[in-house]
Amino acid sequence: AAASADKLAHVTILATGGTIAGSGATSTTTVGYTAATVGVDRLIQAVPELAKVAQVKGEQVFQIASENMSNEHWLTLAKRVNTLLAQPDVDGIVITHGTDTLEETAYFLDLVVKSKKPVVLVGAMRPGTALSADGPINLYNAVLLAASQDAVGKGVLVALNDQIHAARDVTKTNTSTLDSFKTPELGMLGYIQGNKPYFYHVSTRKHTVDTEFDISKLDALPQVDIVYGYANMGPAALNAVVASGAKGVIHAGVGDGSLAGKVLPALKAARQQGVLIVRASRVGQGIVARNGEANDDELDFVAADTLNPQKARILLMLALTRSTDSKEIQHMFYRY
Ligand X SMILES: NC(=O)C[C@H](N)C(=O)O
Residue 309 engages ligand X in binding (rule: CB under 6 A): no
Residue 128 engages ligand X in binding (rule: CB under 6 A): no
Q: Considering 19, 96, 129, 306, which one is annotated as catalytic?
A: 19
Among residues 15, 43, 44, 65, the one that binds ligand X under rule CB under 6 A: 65
Sign of CA dihedral 230, 236, 240, 242: positive
- Per-residue burial over 74-86, b if 16 or more Cβ lie within 10 Å, else e, is bbebbbbbbebbe
DSSP letter, residue 323? -
Question: Would residue 99 show up in a list of annotated catalytic residues for this protein?
Answer: yes
- Interface mask toward ligand X for 21-60; x: CB under 6 A: --------------x-------------------------
**Minimum CB separation from ligand X for residue 242, in Å?**
29
- What is the rounded distance in angstroms from the CA atom of residue 199 to the CA atom of residue 145? 11
Q: Nearer to ligand X by C-beta: 102 or 238? A: 102
Residue 148 engages ligand X in binding (rule: CB under 6 A): no
- What is the rounded distance in angstroms from the CA atom of residue 205 to the CA atom of residue 114? 15
Dihedral in degrees, nearest 10, Cα atoms 152, 147, 158, 183: 60
**Minimum CB separation from ligand X for residue 99, in Å?**
4
Residue 280 backbone phi and psi in degrees, to 5: -115, -170
**Minimum CB separation from ligand X for residue 97, in Å?**
7
Residue nearest ligand X by beta-carbon distance? 98
3-state class of 158 per DSSP? strand
Dihedral in degrees, nearest 10, Cα atoms 236, 238, 240, 245: -170
Residue 125 engages ligand X in binding (rule: CB under 6 A): yes
Question: Would residue 175 show up in a list of annotated catalytic residues for this protein?
Answer: no
Residue 235 engages ligand X in binding (rule: CB under 6 A): no
Residue 100 engages ligand X in binding (rule: CB under 6 A): yes
Q: Nearer to ligand X by C-beta: 33 or 333? A: 33
From 94-102, 159-167, 187-195, 259-267, span contacting ligand X (CB under 6 A): 94-102
Residue 129 engages ligand X in binding (rule: CB under 6 A): no
Neighbours of 197 (CB within 10 A): 24
- What is the rounded distance in angstroms from the CA atom of residue 146 to the CA atom of residue 62? 20
- What is the rounded distance in angstroms from the CA atom of residue 94 to the CA atom of residue 311? 21
Q: Nearer to ligand X by C-beta: 113 or 122? A: 122
Residue 98 engages ligand X in binding (rule: CB under 6 A): yes
Q: Nearer to ligand X by C-beta: 99 or 281? A: 99
Q: Which residues are catalytic?
A: 19, 99
